[in-house]
Amino acid sequence: MRVNQAGSKYPAQAGFTVSTKRFPHAVDRNRVKRLTRECWRLQKQSFYDHLAQHSCQLAVFFIYTDKKIAPFATLQDKISVILKKLEKEVLKLEAPGSAL
């Protein structure tokens, strides 16, 4: 979702959720959220730079849907792929004649 906050220090807001149905124990849900937040933290700066370059701000919500806790390296790769796709979407929004 594209947001409009002029002069914000942070060009993207991120949220994370894990299904109670797939992970009935809070310990497991918290671990997955902690891992995904860390992956986001490590990779967000280049994403922030891309958004700032295009004068765009986004609100992003990550929903973990797997049934097992993935290793950190796998999560890092997946978050990287998601951020690359989001960067391409930002470029599409910048194209003339694109609807918001």
Mean pLDDT in residue range 45-68: 92
In a domain, 20, yes or no: yes
Angle at 2 between CA 19 and CA 21, to 5 degrees: 5
- Asked whether residue 1 is assigned to any structural domain, the reply reads no
Residue 99 pLDDT: 55
Kindly state whether residue 99 falls inside one of the protein's structural domains. no
- The answer to whether residue 61 is domain-embedded is yes
- The average pLDDT across 85-97 equals 82
Domain annotation covers residue 52 = yes
- E-strand ranges in the chain read 12-18, 58-64
Residue span of the structural domain in which 62 resides: 12-91
> How many domains does one find in the chain?
1
Is the distance from CB of 2 to CB of 57 less than 8 angstroms?
A: yes
State the burial class of residue 95 (Cβ atoms within 10 Å of its Cβ: 0-12, 13-18, 19+): exposed
Q: Tell whether 45 is covered by a domain.
A: yes
Residue 77 predicted with pLDDT over 70: yes
pLDDT per position as a tens digit, 7-54 = 567 899 999 999 999 999 999 999 999 999 999 999 999 999 999 888
Mean pLDDT score of the chain? 88
Q: If pLDDT is split at 50, 70 and 90, which confidence band does 96 have?
A: low
54, part of any domain: yes
The answer to whether residue 55 sits within a structural domain is: yes
Task: Read off the pTM.
Answer: 0.82
